[in-house]
Amino acid sequence: MTGVWALIRLSLRELAWQRAYLLLVVAAMLFPWLLLIPTALFLLDLGKVLVDMLFAIEHVLLSCFVFFLASPLLSRDLDQRLCHLWLTMPLSRAAYLVARFLGTVLALLPLLCLFLVMAWMAGQLAAHLWPAYASTLHGAHMLVGGMLLVLPYVALLGLFYFIACASSGAAEALVFLLGGWLLSWAIPPVLQALRQAEVAAKTSPWIAQLIRALDFVVPDLSSARLALEVAHGQWPELHLLLPYMVEHLAYAVSGLLLAMLVFARRDLG
Amino acid sequence: MKGWLRMVLLGACMVLVGWGHALVREARQFHQPPPKEMAWRPSHAIWHRIMAGPVPGLVADLAVLEVFNLYHEGKTTGGVARARWWRALSYQLHRALALDPRFHDAYRLTEGLLAYEPGFTDDAVAMIERHAHWLDSGEYLLVASFLAWHELHDNARAIRLARLAAGKPDTASLAAGFAAKLIRQEQGCRAAMAFLRMRARSMPKAYRAGMDAALERLRRDPACLRPRTPPRAVPDARAGMLG
């Protein structure tokens, strides 16, 4: 257990002291304030526009974290065989993966909290500056929405751990992660379109089945509906909140379990 | 290579980058009107949703920003090219509403800009009517009703839209009164001028050109110059409209 804690702490420290992480911290502090400038260009829905932009920046920050910080951390361990240092502690391979995963998720939290606090403060300023045009801006909604948007990225991290353990190197893992990320963006709107009778009639059943199968394989990264509801000052639908959280957390755990299975048989020599 | 030579080459490269960048940036400005075939189809919504991914709200915001650029080009262009700019503007409004059907700015620009461009009123009214169930305010439906009556001379459509507006809590009484006036066809000219003035007041000055032109047309209309006839009493405007 001591080894696991030590590795979690080290992962946190390794990520937090990278210049890229500090850059993301600076971006998380600055962007919410800078977004007030383009928001002022709109006519009526200023609160909605600000929340749209804040969520878009949050997606960018989280994607950067996964691609440029979390992904190289594990890939480097596996490629350069640095994981041997920990596995000879002795630390089991499964414990090593869990510790790295938890360390990575914990490193995400300060960044997220900082961004959400700044976003909340910028939202308060917007409500003060444009009280008649920012009526849909509710701080609590924005904070809850911002926290919920992180869950798909935790699921994506789980997928990445599986990909990294099964791939032959960092480049291959990154290509598959990018593929999964793009599919996660594109599939939910395609499935929504397939519900329309006109589109369904024109689409081959094989293709529709393939898209549905892919939807099960990749995490639902879109969260588009949730973001739109929060931007319009509504609470996310309560009966969907629990399934949303359970789905993404279960996906992350599944990815990690599959990664453990593959990593247990991987030749590290 | 010597140090001074490197510095000279670096300076020369920076000058060349600046020269190329300035030319390319100039060419990137809007000079050519958008393609003729730029017409919105419902199937386009699917592709735009896919492209927008997890940020449909932001893409709708960007579409509205693009509307401002297109309006600037459209209002200063004449002839055949003008219609292309306005078609592109209409496309962006369709795109914004397909991605975020509750976006008030898109409705405001649809009824305040697009609707007053000759040839696009029908498109604007149809756009608002199609999204009626998404609207939490009757304001835009009421304006669409006014446009259908005043610009399109389609009373049946105007009454249908006024009824939809009366179903929304914020404009119920106003919509009822307006619908009653539509049905009785009284004081059309003055009511239209008052309504247009009210809408123009809530629009930024830079975007009032279309409404101002409509007001000017009404002012010059001989029917508007005739002395006002006293209105007949409306016992129950709402009942008149709903009946």
The complex scores an ipTM of 0.84
**Do A142 and A123 form a contact (C-beta atoms < 8 A)?**
yes
Please judge whether B61 and A42 are an interchain contact, meaning their C-beta atoms are less than 8 angstroms apart: yes
- For the cut 60, the answer to whether the pLDDT of residue A226 exceeds it is yes
- The predicted model gives B40-68 an average pLDDT of 87
- For the cut 70, the answer to whether the pLDDT of residue B134 exceeds it is yes
pLDDT for residue B233? 45
pLDDT in tens, A8-21: 999 999 999 999 99
Closest Cβ opposite residue B53 in set A185, A193, A232: A185
pLDDT for residue B59? 93
Nearest CA to B60 among A236, A151, A55?
Answer: A55
How far is CA A227 from each of CA A3, A150, A235, B57, rounded to the nearest angstrom?
A: 39, 12, 10, 8
Q: How far is B237 from chain A (nearest CA, A)?
A: 31
- The predicted model gives B211-239 an average pLDDT of 61
What residues of B are in contact with residue A51 (Cβ under 8 Å)? 57
- Ranked by mean pLDDT, which of A101-110, A218-227, B143-152 comes out on top? A101-110
The alpha carbons of chain A give a radius of gyration, in whole angstroms, of 20
Alpha carbon distance A155, A220 (integer Å): 9
A261 vs B23, higher pLDDT: A261
What residues of A are in contact with residue B54 (Cβ under 8 Å)? 59, 185, 221-224, 227
Write down the pTM of the prediction: 0.81
- For the cut 80, the answer to whether the pLDDT of residue A35 exceeds it is yes
**Cis before residue A90, ω within 30 degrees of 0?**
yes
Closest Cβ opposite residue B54 in set A41, A53, A224: A224
Please judge whether B57 and A189 are an interchain contact, meaning their C-beta atoms are less than 8 angstroms apart: no
Listed range (A99-108, B176-185, B220-229) with the worst mean pLDDT:
B176-185
Per-residue burial over A242-265, b = 16 or more CB atoms within 10 Å of its CB, e = otherwise: eebeebbeebbeebbebbbebbee
Q: In this complex, is the C-beta atom of A252 within 8 Å of any C-beta atom belonging to chain B? A: no
pLDDT for residue A102? 94
Nearest CA to B49 among B92, B106, B99, B102?
Answer: B99
- pLDDT bracket for residue B241 (50, 70, 90): very low
- Which burial class, exposed, middle or buried, applies to A183 when counting CB atoms under 10 A from its CB (0-12, 13-18, 19+)? middle
Which of A61, A196, A228, A230 to probe by mutation at the B interface, max B CB count within 10 Å? A228
Closest Cβ opposite residue A45 in set B49, B56, B104: B104
Q: In this complex, is the C-beta atom of A44 within 8 Å of any C-beta atom belonging to chain B? A: yes
- For the cut 80, the answer to whether the pLDDT of residue B207 exceeds it is no
Q: How far is B120 from chain A (nearest CA, A)?
A: 22
- The predicted model gives A50-76 an average pLDDT of 92
How far is CA A57 from each of CA A50, A111, B135, rounded to the nearest angstrom?
A: 11, 12, 28
pLDDT in tens, B72-109: 888 887 777 788 888 889 999 999 999 999 998 899 99
Query: Which residue carries 């600055």 as its tokens?
Result: A30
Hey, where are the domains in chain B? 38-134
Q: In this complex, is the C-beta atom of A45 within 8 Å of any C-beta atom belonging to chain B? A: yes
Alpha carbon distance A79, B126 (integer Å): 59
Give the helix ranges, DSSP H, for chain B: 3-28, 42-52, 56-75, 79-99, 104-112, 121-130, 139-150, 155-166, 172-184, 188-201, 209-220, 222-225, 237-242
Which of B44, B51, B58 to probe by mutation at the A interface, max A CB count within 10 Å? B58
How far is CA A33 from each of CA A26, A148, A266, B33, rounded to the nearest angstrom?
A: 12, 22, 47, 36
Alpha carbon distance B74, B81 (integer Å): 8
Please judge whether A42 and B64 are an interchain contact, meaning their C-beta atoms are less than 8 angstroms apart: yes
- pLDDT bracket for residue A75 (50, 70, 90): confident
How far is CA A149 from each of CA A156, A250, A254, B106, B147, rounded to the nearest angstrom?
A: 12, 16, 19, 26, 41
Hey, where are the domains in chain A? 2-265
Give the list of residues 6+ apart from residue B236 with CB closer than 8 angstroms, or none.
Answer: none
- For the cut 60, the answer to whether the pLDDT of residue B184 exceeds it is no
A84 vs A211, higher pLDDT: A211
Ramachandran category for residue B79: left, alpha or beta (phi over 0 → left; psi -120 to 50 → alpha): left
What percentage of chain B has pLDDT greater than the value 70?
76
- How far does Cα B43 stand from its chain's mean position? 21
Q: How far is A88 from chain B (nearest CA, A)?
A: 43
pLDDT for residue B239? 39
Q: How far is B128 from chain A (nearest CA, A)?
A: 17
The alpha carbons of chain B give a radius of gyration, in whole angstroms, of 24
Query: Which residue carries 């630390």 as its tokens?
Result: A91
Residues in chain A: 269
Please judge whether A59 and B61 are an interchain contact, meaning their C-beta atoms are less than 8 angstroms apart: no
pLDDT in tens, A171-219: 999 999 999 888 888 887 788 778 777 777 888 888 888 888 888 777 7
Nearest CA to A99 among A187, A39, A12?
Answer: A12
What percentage of chain B has pLDDT greater than the value 90?
17
- For the cut 70, the answer to whether the pLDDT of residue A5 exceeds it is yes
pLDDT for residue A217? 78
- For the cut 90, the answer to whether the pLDDT of residue B149 exceeds it is no
What residues of A are in contact with residue B49 (Cβ under 8 Å)? 189, 192-193, 224
Alpha carbon distance B189, B194 (integer Å): 9
Closest Cβ opposite residue B58 in set A42, A52, A189: A52
Query: Which residue carries 């006036």 as its tokens?
Result: B181
**Do A66 and A160 form a contact (C-beta atoms < 8 A)?**
yes
- For the cut 70, the answer to whether the pLDDT of residue B31 exceeds it is no
pLDDT for residue B12? 95
